[in-house]
A and B are shown apart, each in its own frame.
Chain A
Amino acid sequence: MATSVGTRPTTWDLLRTHGFERRDFLRFCAITTAAMGLDASFIPQVAHAFETKPRLPVLWLHGLECTCCSESFIRSSHPIAQDVILNMISLDYDETLQAAAGEQVEEIRRKMIAEHPGEYVLAVEGNAPTKDGGVYCTIAGETFEKVLLETAEHAKFVIAWGSCASNGCVQAASPNPTGAKPIHELVHGKPIVKVPGCPPIAEVMTGLLAHVLTFDRLPELDRVGRPKMFYGQRIHDKCYRRAFFDAGQFVERWDDDGARKGWCLYKMGCRGPTTYNSCSTIKWNGGVSFPIGSGHGCIGCSEANFWDDGPFYARLATTRLPGVETTPQAIGKVAATAAALGAAAHLVSFGAKQVLSRDTDKGSNHPDNPQR
C-alpha cells in the first residue's frame, strides 16, 4: 500500500523542507503521542510512522451540515490543526478549506478516486438528504448522495465527522423534511468510524487522524462504531461536579445558591449521565472549559436523537417519551389510578351482587364448583 504512493512525501520530508530540525520533529511526535492517550514508549513508533509513511490522503466532503465540525477542527491545540493539515495528512479535497474552486477541485476528487483507489480516507462532514431524489443538497450539479457514494466506494475507510454524519443530528430530527440519513445508513461494506458531537472536540478529531496515520488502522470501536479512546465513558463519570451528585446536592434554579456553589446540574436536565464523550476530560478550546464547567448542563449533542429526546432543561422523569407526548411518570400514574379504580369498581359491583343474591340459595362458599 505504502509503496504505491511512495512518491508522496512523508511528514518528516515535509517538515525538513520547511526548515524544521530533528528536535522539533521529535517534539511534534511526543505531543501527538500524548494527544492520542498513548504511553511515552510509543513515541519511537509514532516518529517511525511519520518518517516512513507517506502522508495520508484525505478527501473531506461537506454535505447537509453547518460546518461546526470544521470550525472545531481548526481550533485543535494538540496537535494543532495546521500541523495535521500541513504535515500529517494530505488534505486533497475540502470545500471549506481548499483554495481551488469549481471544476478544478472536482477533477482532483475524481482523479484521486481513479488513481488511488483504496488508499485515501473519506472524511464526511454532514449527511445526505434522500427525499425527492436528494435535491436538497447538491455539489457541482450532482446530489451529495451520489458524490458520497461515488467517493466512498473506493475509500480505505470512512470517517463520519460530527453528529450529522454519525446520527443525523438536527436535519434528521423529527419530522426530517429532507429525508436526511447518517452515513452508516447510506454507505455499506466500508469500515465507518463515527466521531459524534455537535461539533466533536477538536483534539478528538486530530487524535483520531494521528492514530490512523501511526497504526495504519482504525482505533478500537465501541458497539455503535465510536472510538473507545474518546467515547468510552460518560461525561458524568469524569465530571468534576460528580461529588455533588453523589452527595445529593443539586441546582434547582439557575440563580439559586446551589448554582453559585457549583452543585450538580442533574435536576436542570444535564445529559452528562447519558452522554458518551470526552468533554469532562479533554474539555474545549485547548482545555479551557466545557459546558458543565461554565454552569450549563450538557445537552447530549454526541448522542443519537438528542434533538428529539425532550427538552434540554428537563430531567428524565419529566422528559417526554420520544413520539409520545407525555412522560413515563404520567403514564404510570394514569395506569395505576385506572387499575385502582377498576379494582374499586369491581369490588363495589361484586359486593352489591353478593348482597342482592343473599336471598337465593347460592352462598359464596358453596362448593358447587369442584376445584381442580
Chain B
Amino acid sequence: MNSTTRAPVAPRVTYERIYVWQWGVRAFHWINAAAISVLFATGLYIADPFLSANGEAYDVFVMARIRQIHFAAAFVFAVAFVWRMYFFWFGNRYARSGFPAVWKRKWWSDLVRQATDYLTLNVGHGHLGHNALAGLAYTLFVIGLGWCQILTGFALYSESNPGGFWDGLVGWVIPLCGGSLRTHMAHHLFAWGFVVFAIVHVYIVLLDSRQYRNGLIGSMITGFKFKPVERRDDDGAKP
C-alpha cells in the first residue's frame, strides 16, 4: 500500500432514501406515546391522590375528572392498539419486521448478533425495520404489556357497571387474577413495565441513530430512513 503518495480520503458515502414507516405506523407511535404518558401520570394520581381538594364536595370533581381522563386515554390506547394490529397484518414489510419468528433461524441469529453488538459495544449493523432484539422488546413490552393493561384495565373499568358490555367482554379477568384487589395490583405492576421500556427505548433510539446515521429519529416523523450506498473512488479503489 503506497500510503505515502496518497492523501487520506474520507469515506464517500451517499444515502438512499427509503420509505419505511407508513403514516399509520407513525401516527400510532405518537398517539401511543401520548396515551401511555397520560395513562401513567393519571394512574399515579388515582393510586395515590396527593392533591387535596378544598371546599365542598359539590364544588370539586378532581378524582372523577382524573379518572375520566384516564379512561379516555385508555380508549385511545386500545383503539390505537387495534389500529397498529391492522398495520401489522396489512402494512408494508417493515411494519412487522423483527417480530419474534422463533421458528426461523434468521431471527435468532439476528437477535444474538444485535445483543452481542450492544453488549460488546460494537457499532454493529443497521436495519431498515426493527432488528430482532427490538422486535422482541416491542412484542414483550408493548404488545404483551399492552394486552395485560387492556385486559386488567377494562376489567376494572367494567366493575362500575356490572352486567354491562365491558363486564361481559373482559369481566372474567377479575376472578382469573384472584379478585378485584389483585387485579388492581397487577395493573399497577404492569404500568411500571412501560416506564422501564420507555427509558431503554429512548436510549437505544438515540444510540442507534448516532451509530448508524440512518435518520432513525426523524423516520418516525417523516417515514424515511437512509441506507448508505457504497461508492467507489474515481480510481476504482474502495474508500
Q: Given the known inter-chain contacts A249-B60, A339-B200, A371-B228, please indicate yes or no for A309 contacting B188, CB distance below 8 A.
A: no
B52 with A248: CB separation less than 8 A: yes
A-side interface residues, number (CB < 8 Å): 63
B-side interface residues, number (CB < 8 Å): 60
Q: Given the known inter-chain contacts A244-B57, A372-B128, please indicate yes or no for A328 contacting B160, CB distance below 8 A.
A: no
Interface assignment of A276: CB less than 8 Å from any CB of chain B: yes
Q: Given the known inter-chain contacts A328-B189, A332-B192, A364-B211, please indicate yes or no for A343 contacting B47, CB distance below 8 A.
A: no
A249 with B181: CB separation less than 8 A: no
Interface assignment of B191: CB less than 8 Å from any CB of chain A: yes
Interface assignment of B232: CB less than 8 Å from any CB of chain A: no
Interface assignment of B163: CB less than 8 Å from any CB of chain A: yes
A72 to chain B, nearest CB (A): 22
> In this complex, what residue of B is CB-closest to A350?
B121
Q: Given the known inter-chain contacts A328-B188, A331-B192, please indicate yes or no for A347 contacting B181, CB distance below 8 A.
A: no
B207 with A350: CB separation less than 8 A: yes
Q: Which residues of chain A have C-beta atoms less than 8 A from B228's C-beta?
A: 365, 367, 371
Bound form: Cα–Cα A246–B60 in Å: 8
Interface positions, chain B 48-65, Cβ under 8 Å from A, are: 48-49, 51-53, 57-64
> In this complex, what residue of B is CB-closest to A349?
B121
B110 to chain A, nearest CB (A): 9
A360 to chain B, nearest CB (A): 12
B61 with A316: CB separation less than 8 A: no
B11 with A346: CB separation less than 8 A: no
Binds B, one of A11-19, A92-100, A172-180, A298-306: A298-306
> In this complex, what residue of B is CB-closest to A303?
B179
Bound form: Cα–Cα A367–B10 in Å: 12
Q: Which residues of chain A have C-beta atoms less than 8 A from B191's C-beta?
A: 328, 332
Q: Which residues of chain B have C-beta atoms less than 8 A from A232's C-beta?
A: 162-163
Give A contacts to B, CB under 8 Å: 223-224, 228, 232-234, 237, 243-250, 252, 266-267, 271, 273-276, 300, 303-306, 309, 315-319, 321-322, 328-329, 331-333, 335-336, 338-340, 342-343, 346-347, 349-350, 353, 362-367, 369-372
Name 6 interchain pairs, CB-CB below 8 A, sorted by A: A305-B182, A316-B47, A317-B47, A332-B193, A335-B193, A369-B124
Q: A247-B59, A304-B178 are in contact. List 9 more A-B contacts (CB 8 A).
A: A223-B175, A233-B162, A237-B159, A246-B61, A249-B53, A328-B189, A346-B203, A369-B126, A371-B128
